[in-house]
Structure 1
Amino acid sequence: MRQPKRMIHVVSSWVRRQPPKVKAFLAVVTGMLALVLLRAIVHDHDNLFVAAEAVHSIGISVLIYKLMREKTCAGLSLKTQELTAMFLAVRLYCSFVMEYDIHTVLDLATLATTSWVIFMIRFKLKSSYMEDKDNFAMYYVVVPCVVLALLIHPSTSHHIINRIFWAFCVYLEAVSVLPQLRVMQNTKVVEPFTAHYVFALGVARFLSCAHWVLQVLDSRGHLLTALGFGLWPSMVLISEIVQTFILADFCYYYMKSVFGGQLVLRLPSGVV
């Protein structure tokens, strides 16, 4: 067991010494290799999207376990939970009026558990809520998402309001984790359950991104046409990629911490 740990330490130390451009290149190459692997082992790529929603639900379940076991919400961002509930509620509405399927059921379950987490933070465990650390202004993400949704949305046959709502939830989901990252940036120390939750979000975002990229490749670009015309198809892919890269740096340090046998994740300056 020591040999793998030593190898991981050597590799992580080498990566840490590289300039930002090399790190970015390595991240892109790693992502591409992961996509190739997923394409080879997952035949129905729609299962990746279901898996992404399932992993998100698992992440929420980890939070529930933390709140029930430790009776504290320290280190959690109420604003991220509220943004999550917001985009899930909008996406659930769009799912009901546009395409009722398995995603509707998963979103409903995730919204219910997210609402419970919000209730616990706001009322039951309010005394442990780190409000001074959770200082990311929500309008910094909500307002730009609204403006983008008004300007760039699907050109399908659905009602204009539904198309704008659909675009809004896609954009908001991409940046909903930013307040949680600000909390971790302010504290620098991330306790295990919060780290597991954010890592689950990172995995979910990667699987969702992989689903869209592989679907585009398999359809030879026809999926983009099916999504509509103009800038909207590109914005869907960009949103998925943004979500993935927002959490990529944290996921790297999470894996490094896990393989190093550390229970508490300590983030260096500049991360998230």
Structure 2
Amino acid sequence: MNIFRLAGDMTHLLSIIILLLKIHTIKSCAGISLKTQELYAIVFATRYLDMFTNFISLYNTGMKLVFLASSFSIVWYMRQHKIVRRSYDKDQDTFRHLFLVLPCLLLALVINERFTVTEVMWSFSLYLEAVAILPQLVLLQRTRNIDNLTGQYVFFLGAYRALYIVNWVYRYFTEPHYVHWIPWLAGIVQTLLYADFFYYYFISLKNNAKLQIPA
């Protein structure tokens, strides 16, 4: 494992820790899209179908378990916790996220590396992850004034994907025959979706104020 992939994994983990910290300590999920969290839960559940049949390393299995447990825990908190769920703004979080699932599944059935259940689901998870952030970005656009923890959560999610792209570039030039078009294209699409958010995030840091996104 190279330093860029490790940094990407740690950045991804940090984004989840920030979100769990916000939910567990402040007992609030204000500004967080349940729709995006449900999509991420589907992403991890379908990507890690081979977790108990294809052992790679303790690190790999451990990270998979962490992402699975954390994603479903966040959904549970936002749906079931008697205090946290009160702060969820369902009137603003209205993106029809399930309409993203079917196109991604159809695309995975057509474009995949091998037509097997695990490979199709792996491709599906990549396509879905690329657009899973859309409900969150739409929610940020609607609320416009975002607290620091929510802004940091979304920032580190975007940074994780950007670091993974650097990892792919590094592996392309250092490993023979390393070509994986599906994760490359999905990752680029996902990173581009963050571009507008990144711009206003850095502006807010410069102005030392809460993140405010113009309508």
Give the corresponding residue for 2:117: 161
1:246 maps to 2:202: no
Q: Which amino acid aligns with 1:115?
A: F
Counterpart contact for 2:148–2:211, Cα < 8 Å: yes
Higher helix share: 1
1:136 deviates by 1.0
Q: Which amino acid aligns with 1:66?
A: K
Counterpart contact for 1:63–1:194, Cα < 8 Å: yes
Whole-angstrom distance in 1 between the partners of 2:102 and 2:108:
10
Query: What are the residue-to-residue correspondences of 1:26-37 with 2, within 5 Å?
Result: none
Query: What are the residue-to-residue correspondences of 1:216-231 with 2, within 5 Å?
Result: 216-219=172-175, 222-224=177-179
Whole-angstrom distance in 2 between the partners of 1:236 and 1:72:
33
1:194 maps to 2:153: no
Counterpart contact for 1:202–1:244, Cα < 8 Å: yes
Whole-angstrom distance in 2 between the partners of 1:183 and 1:112:
24
Give the corresponding residue for 2:28: 72
Give the corresponding residue for 1:258: 205
Counterpart contact for 1:53–1:107, Cα < 8 Å: no
Counterpart contact for 2:123–2:182, Cα < 8 Å: no
Whole-angstrom distance in 2 between the partners of 1:141 and 1:50:
29
Whole-angstrom distance in 2 between the partners of 1:147 and 1:257:
39
Whole-angstrom distance in 2 between the partners of 1:70 and 1:260:
25
1:92 deviates by 1.9
Give the corresponding residue for 1:150: 109
Q: 1:191 to 1:178 in 2, by over 3 A?
A: same
Give the fraction of aligned pairs with identical amino acids, expressed as a percent.
35
Whole-angstrom distance in 1 between the partners of 2:135 and 2:157:
13
SS where residue 179 of structure 1 aligns? helix
Whole-angstrom distance in 2 between the partners of 1:91 and 1:73:
26
Whole-angstrom distance in 2 between the partners of 1:142 and 1:72:
27
Q: Which amino acid aligns with 2:65?
A: L
TM-score by structure 1 length? 0.73
Bigger radius of gyration among the two = 1
From 91, 94, 99, the counterpart of 1:135: 94
Give the corresponding residue for 1:22: none
Q: Which amino acid aligns with 1:54?
A: M
Runs (4+) of structure 1 exceeding 4 A deviation are: none
Q: 1:245 to 1:99 in 2, by over 3 A?
A: farther
Q: Which amino acid aligns with 1:195?
A: G
Q: Which amino acid aligns with 2:178?
A: L
Q: Deviations over 1:153-173 (max 9, x none)?
A: 113xxx711111111111111
**How many residues in Structure 1 have an aligned counterpart in Structure 2?**
212
Counterpart contact for 2:141–2:214, Cα < 8 Å: no
1:54 maps to 2:54: no
TM-score by structure 2 length? 0.91
Q: Deviations over 1:92-122 (max 9, x none)?
A: 2234434533233112112212222111111
1:75 deviates by 0.8
Q: Which amino acid aligns with 1:223?
A: Y
Whole-angstrom distance in 2 between the partners of 1:49 and 1:148:
26
Q: Which amino acid aligns with 1:267?
A: I
Whole-angstrom distance in 2 between the partners of 1:114 and 1:51:
20
Q: Which amino acid aligns with 1:70?
A: I
Whole-angstrom distance in 2 between the partners of 1:169 and 1:107:
14
Gaps of 5+ in 1: 1-43, 225-232
SS where residue 97 of structure 1 aligns? coil
- Tell me: higher relative CO, structure 1 or 2? Use CA pairs within 8 A at least 6 residues apart: 2
